[in-house]
Amino acid sequence: MGRAGNVLKTVLEKYGISQGKLATVMGIGSSNVFRWANELRDPSSETLLAIIRALYKIDAAAAEEFKSLYLSGLDTED
């Protein structure tokens, strides 16, 4: 577990976006974002897209960095 969660946590911290803010924009409970960011649960592919859309609404640079960091790690996984 954890690639998306690790990237999400990094991006949220770097851009000063709270888990609560992301959850609000996504229209979900903050406990869901907490679980992803702390690698307790992996977001589904549909949820990854929702995270990216929400990040764009908050900060486009954060969304771009999330996509870049997440995708750059995919080609190194087995």
Q: CATH number for the domain including 10?
A: 1.10.260.40
pLDDT mean over 55-72: 96
pLDDT mean over 54-77: 88
Could you give the number of structural domains in the chain?
1
pLDDT at 13: 97
* pLDDT tens by residue, 4-59: 999 999 999 999 999 999 999 999 999 999 999 999 999 999 999 999 999 999 99
Measuring CA to CA, which residue among 3, 29, 5, 33 is closest to residue 18?
A: 33
Measured from the Cβ of residue 22, the count of other Cβ atoms closer than 10 Å reads: 24
Q: Domain range holding 70?
A: 3-74
Amino acid letter, residue 45: S
Measuring CA to CA, which residue among 68, 13, 73 is closest to residue 37?
A: 13
